[in-house]
Amino acid sequence: MNHLTNITYQKEDDIPASELASVFKSSGIKRPADDLTRLQKMIDHADLLITARHQNQLVGIARAITDYSYCCYLSDLAVDIKYQHQGIGTELIRFIQAELSEEVALILLSAPSAMDYYPKMGFEPIDNGFKIARRQ
């Protein structure tokens, strides 16, 4: 079933934490989906929220942190599993890029299961990064 023609993409400033939790759970992404307080902070402090909706239901989201000048961290890209493999993730990334200038690098940390996905979207692998892992 191809839902792609009925998908609405838009930049949103705020969405309910319960909607974010729902798309996280339905996508398979590992996030603190049961901690609505934490999810609300993730929404409140994001610089960019691009949503994909089918009949007003949130089916995909791209959430990013950026300075709009040098770098943008794509912190979440999640699409409901029933809507995956239809180009929704690609469109969400395209909408993020449309909000940025060409001088802004788009970076992300990939889940091991998505390592083959991002090169197809134009991302180049890097091996010069570091992280301090979160405790929770």
Per-residue pLDDT tens over the stretch 123-135: 998 888 888 888 8
Residue 55, token pair as written in the block: 């009949």
- Non-local (6+) Cβ contacts of 21 within 8 A are 33, 34, 36, 39
In a domain, 77, yes or no: yes
The amino acid at residue 2 is N
In a domain, 83, yes or no: yes
- Non-local (6+) Cβ contacts of 82 within 8 A are 26, 59
- For 10, the domain range is 4-120
In a domain, 126, yes or no: no
* Structure confidence at residue 2 (pLDDT): 46
Number of domains, the chain: 1
Phi and psi, residue 42, nearest 5°: -60, -40
Per-residue pLDDT, averaged over 83-97, amounts to: 95
| CATH number, residue 99 | 3.40.630.30
Q: Which of 68-72, 96-100, 129-133 has the lowest mean pLDDT?
A: 129-133
In a domain, 133, yes or no: no
Question: How many CA within 13 A on the CB side of residue 37?
Answer: 0
Phi and psi, residue 121, nearest 5°: -95, 5
